């Protein structure tokens, strides 16, 4: 069955590529045929009242059934990490003060008098919340897609066959769900803490995954094979239901991230880099750091069991119509990283992507 998503680098969990997989499968299929040319099950000749081979071409509509899974985020800022605050606007401090926290008279006077607190007065801050966190209500989901399907069968008997499912790999849009917030908190020590401390807390918006259309796109390659059982008998029953069980291999390439989402992630990379540079105040003011963050997107390859129910209807001994519905229990993992040449990995986010597609196929085929 052809390709469906599911989210430009690719994981190397499965080192062989789609070409090797196809060639290997074909080779395995051909070995018994040539090794047992006189066998009633492995032969190039017609069987007893049936033809050995069939191929069909038709429309394949893929309908992912999976639900968005929470996105997990890690950054290079460890819990409790101490960073210089640097220059910061007084209003920025006020906007990020923890609700209900006490502010000393001296610090309150400074915040109400100075527009900008210089680096010499702002001191340091102990930062929490950015090392790792989950984002409930977020995730990635694949859109429906229609492509050209190609199904080839070899019949061991009139009832038992081996099918290879393939087709044109479609480009699939990935929709984002929810908003990503960074749960920032800190204890600041202006003037070294001699005038008291400031408790800061704020959920910082990183990106809205639903704001810019599809968050990403990918090309999906999903070849599959099945062993099938066909009810009825050739030449007797024109309408023949069948069932099948097999395995799918999913491979994704040509991954592209939405441009605006990418810019949001670059801005988040600058936020982390500012903290690393001793400019924690700048990280709260969306200021650009000296870093050059680069964003990459990866999606792992995966295997999945696949089951099919379908039917064929014979027009004559050569031509037939076919329809089927398949389900594959397919899940992969998507990883987004933000890296800088000097600071290394700044941000890493991972998300399980449940695809679990229903595949509806309708086509016309020929036996030979």
How far apart are the C-alpha atoms of 280 and 26, rounded to whole Å? 58
CATH label of the domain that carries residue 90: 2.40.160.20
pLDDT in tens, 254-302: 999 999 999 999 999 999 999 999 999 999 999 999 999 999 999 999 9
pLDDT of 164: 98
- The CA–CA distances, whole Å, from 166 to 120, 150, 224, 246 equal 66, 5, 7, 13
User: Is the pLDDT confidence value at 170 over 60?
Assistant: yes
Least confident range of 23-37, 131-145, 197-211: 23-37
Of the candidate ranges 99-113, 171-185, 333-347, the one whose mean pLDDT is the lowest: 99-113
Burial 274-312 (b: 16+ CB within 10 A, else e): bbbbebbbbbbeeeebebebebebbbbbbebebebebbb
Q: Report the pLDDT value the prediction gives residue 44, as an integer from 0 to 100.
A: 66
Average pLDDT over residues 350-357: 96
User: Per residue in 324-335, pLDDT tens?
Assistant: 999 999 999 999
Provide the token pair at 113. Answer: 């008098």
In the chain, what percentage of residues exceed pLDDT 90? 84
Taking residues 297-313, report their average pLDDT. Answer: 98
Q: Is residue 4 part of a domain?
A: no
Containing domain of residue 228, as a range? 9-367
Q: How far is it, in rounded angstroms, from Cα 307 to Cα 317?
A: 27
Q: Is the CB of residue 219 less than 8 Å from the CB of residue 253?
A: yes
Share of the chain above pLDDT 70, in %: 88
CA-to-CA distance for 244 and 44, rounded, in angstroms?
23
Question: Is 12's pLDDT higher than 60?
Answer: no
Q: Confidence band (pLDDT; 50, 70, 90) for 49?
A: confident
Predicted confidence (pLDDT) at residue 336 exceeds the cutoff of 60 = yes
Mean pLDDT of 240-264: 97
Quickly state the pLDDT bin for 39 (edges 50, 70, 90): low
Q: Which of 19-23, 123-127, 286-290 is least confident?
A: 19-23
Judged by average pLDDT, the poorest of 5-14, 211-220, 235-244, 292-301 is 5-14
Give residue 38's pLDDT: 55
pLDDT, mean of residues 81-91: 97
Mean pLDDT, range 95-106, rounded to an integer: 92
Given a cut of 90, whether residue 119 has pLDDT beyond it is yes
Count of domains forming the chain: 1
Contacts of 263 (CB under 8 A, 6+ apart): none
Q: Is residue 136 a part of any domain in this protein?
A: yes
Residue 2 lies in a domain: no
- Token digits for 139? 């995730």
Average pLDDT over the chain reads 90
pLDDT at 11 over 90: no
Task: Give me the pLDDT at residue 41, please.
Answer: 66
* pLDDT tens readout for residues 188-201: 999 888 889 999 99
Any domain includes 47: yes
Mean pLDDT of 220-229: 97
**pLDDT at residue 342 in the model:** 95
Q: Is residue 1's pLDDT more than 70?
A: no
pLDDT at 34 over 50: no
70, part of any domain: yes
Is 88 within a domain? yes
Neighbour tally for 265: CB within 10 Å: 23
């Amino acid at each position: 069955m052809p390709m469906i998503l599911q989210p430009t680098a690719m994981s190397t969990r499965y080192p062989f590529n789609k070409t090797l997989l196809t060639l290997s499968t074909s080779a395995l299929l051909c070995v018994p045929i040539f090794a047992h040319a006189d066998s009633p099950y492995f032969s190039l000749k017609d069987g007893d009242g049936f033809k050995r081979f069939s191929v069909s071409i038709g429309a394949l509509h893929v309908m992912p059934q999976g639900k968005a899974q929470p996105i997990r985020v890690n950054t290079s800022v460890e819990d409790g990490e101490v960073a210089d605050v640097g220059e910061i606007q007084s209003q920025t401090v006020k906007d990020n003060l923890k609700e209900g926290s006490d502010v000393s008279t001296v610090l309150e006077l400074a915040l109400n008098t100075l527009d900008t607190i210089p680096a010499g007065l702002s001191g340091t801050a102990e930062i929490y919340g950015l090392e790792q966190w989950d984002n409930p209500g977020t995730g990635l989901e694949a859109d429906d897609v229609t492509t050209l399907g190609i199904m080839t069968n070899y019949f061991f008997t009139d009832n038992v066959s081996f099918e290879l499912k393939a087709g044109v790999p479609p480009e699939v849009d990935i929709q984002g769900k929810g908003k990503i917030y960074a749960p920032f908190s800190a204890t600041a020590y202006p003037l070294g803490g001699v005038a008291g401390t400031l408790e800061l807390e704020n959920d910082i918006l990183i990106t809205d995954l639903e704001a810019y259309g599809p968050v990403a796109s990918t090309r999906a390659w999903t070849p599959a094979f099945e062993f099938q059982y066909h009810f009825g008998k050739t030449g007797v029953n024109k309408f023949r239901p069948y069932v099948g069980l097999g395995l799918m291999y999913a491979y994704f390439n040509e991954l592209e991230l939405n441009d605006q989402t990418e810019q949001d992630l670059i801005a988040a990379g600058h936020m982390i880099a500012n903290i690393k540079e001793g400019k924690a105040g700048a990280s709260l003011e969306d200021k650009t750091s000296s870093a050059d963050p680069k964003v990459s997107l990866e999606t792992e390859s995966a295997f999945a069991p696949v089951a099919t129910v379908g039917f064929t209807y014979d027009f004559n001994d050569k031509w037939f119509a076919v329809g089927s519905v398949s389900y594959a229990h397919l899940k992969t993992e998507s990883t987004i990283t933000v890296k800088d040449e000097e600071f290394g990995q700044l941000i890493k986010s991972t998300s399980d992507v449940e695809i679990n597609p229903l595949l509806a196929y309708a086509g016309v085929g020929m036996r030979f």
